Amino acid sequence: MAAVVWFRSDLRTVDNPALDAACENHDKVYGIFLVPQETWVAHDWAPIKVDLWWRHLAEFKDELAEKGIGFSVFVIDRFNQSGARIADFCEQHGVTRVYANREYPLDEVNRDKQAQACFQQRDIELSLFDGNLLVAPAHVKTKQGGYYKVFTPFNRAWRTEVNKRDDWATSQWTVADTVDTATEIPPCPLERKDSQAYPVGRQAIMGKLGQFIEHQVADYKAKRDQPSVDGTSMMSAYFEMGAIAPKTVARALTSLSPEFPYGLEPGADTWLTEVAWREFYQHLMFHEPRLSRGENYQTETQGLPWREAEDDFQAWCEGRTGFPIVDAGMRQLNETGWMHNRLRMIVANFLVKDLLIDWRKGEQYFMQNLIDGSFPANNGGWQWSASVGTDAVPYFRVFNPVRQSEKFDPDGTYIRTWVKELADVPSKHIHWPHSYLKQRKTGYVSPIVDHSEARERFLSTFKQVKNG
């Protein structure tokens, strides 16, 4: 009998439990990927992210073909059409079993419920797996049986569960009946932005991972907060589309410590903690569906009176705030579709706490521009920065962008890379160049806000809401 693997954010042939199960239990396997164009637009998919996925789909199709698996990409309008489109394909090809890996945001959960109901009406069975996480949400519980709301105890419990795994080997399978692979990838119906800086295909992606593990992970803890240094893995976009599995990453790290997930050197241990953060936010989405609807995790902060300040928001979006480190981060995002994580925190804190603009506007802008835009991680990061999320930064901690700049870009290398107007400013003036520039009448925008006054405004506003 034949089976269908319904691919989503798991575009890989290795460490993919849905694909493994289909190939181990069926002689013939078809792969399907659906492009719900209106849903992608509603979910604020960045054009550069669309381009990366589309390029990878072509490579992935060839990879599946080498294994005898046919692959079809179908463009639909919305998530709620998924079940019917796949059921039609199944009936045309005599398939009664569909395999897929779970996704955890609310719309994706509802999509799967609707698809399951459709499949049941047409005698098709859906088998779901937790292939996109190292530990499924149901397996990380407090002693009271609830879920963890604070990251540090979550990380401990998560590592305990990771430590129980003994399935680090890759699955070995072949399919008996080769499927005709003549189906072409259809034209992309959505706007695209060039993502050629990111190689696609399994060989290239695994090469990037190997390079990082071998040459960079040892220094990760020391260098990850320095935006001018190539100190991060740059794997986040591949995680997001599932071109590489967290299990693959974990297997690579097991070579660094026989006691994995314990006993790692500081760099590797810190990087594993970032994987845990990714899973923490996925778990939160699963346990708190209201987060998918734009609600603050801390319900008492729901009524914060945000400013309607479109000019300030546009200045932030375009990197015209007059705060060099903020402007550098936003210009990097706009040009490349990526921003260093330290900068994501700085610019988010600035939008919310200096400008008193709703964090959801920043969250949306990030999703509309990030090549690695992950709804759970992006939502969690913004709620953290806005002090409205679980385990968030305390509301009274307001980043001083100049101090952040001095600490993490001390000689101004990162600023000069992205804020060309400041290319010739000496290091001692680079973090706050306005007096220096005024004397020389050079063109760089004046600051749009006084940080000290803005800080007091935010603290007063937040305190009033907190105190009811």
Give the containing element (helix H, strand E) for 355.
none
CA-to-CA distance for 56 and 243, rounded, in angstroms?
8
Asked whether 265 and 256 are in contact (CB, 8 A), the reply is yes
Q: Which residues are catalytic?
A: 274, 277, 306, 341, 359, 382
Tell me if 281 is assigned to a ligand binding site: yes
Ligand-binding annotation for 280, yes or no, is yes
Exposed, middle or buried, 298 (CB in 10 Å: 0-12/13-18/19+)? middle
Contact 124, 90 (CB under 8 A): yes
* Helix H or strand E encompassing 85: helix 82-93
Residue 346: phi, psi to the nearest 5? Answer: -65, -50
Query: Does the annotation place 292 within a ligand binding site?
Result: no
Q: Residue 316 is encoded by which pair of tokens? A: 């932030």
Is 277 within any annotated ligand binding site?
yes
Q: 224 labelled as ligand-binding?
A: no
Phi and psi of 296, rounded to 5°?
A: -65, 140
From the list 433, 372, 423, 436, the residue with the least C-alpha distance to 402 is 433
Residue 232 annotated as lining a ligand binding site: yes
Q: Which amino acid is at 114?
A: Q
Residue 233 among known ligand-binding residues: yes
Q: Is 279 annotated as a binding residue?
A: yes
Nearest to 44 by CA among 367, 314, 370: 367
Question: Is 234 annotated in some ligand binding site?
Answer: yes
Angle at 375 between CA 371 and CA 376, to 5 degrees: 125
Cis peptide before 261 (omega within 30 of 0): yes
Binding site feature residues for FAD: 220, 232-236, 271, 274-281
Binding site feature residues: 220, 232-236, 271, 274-281
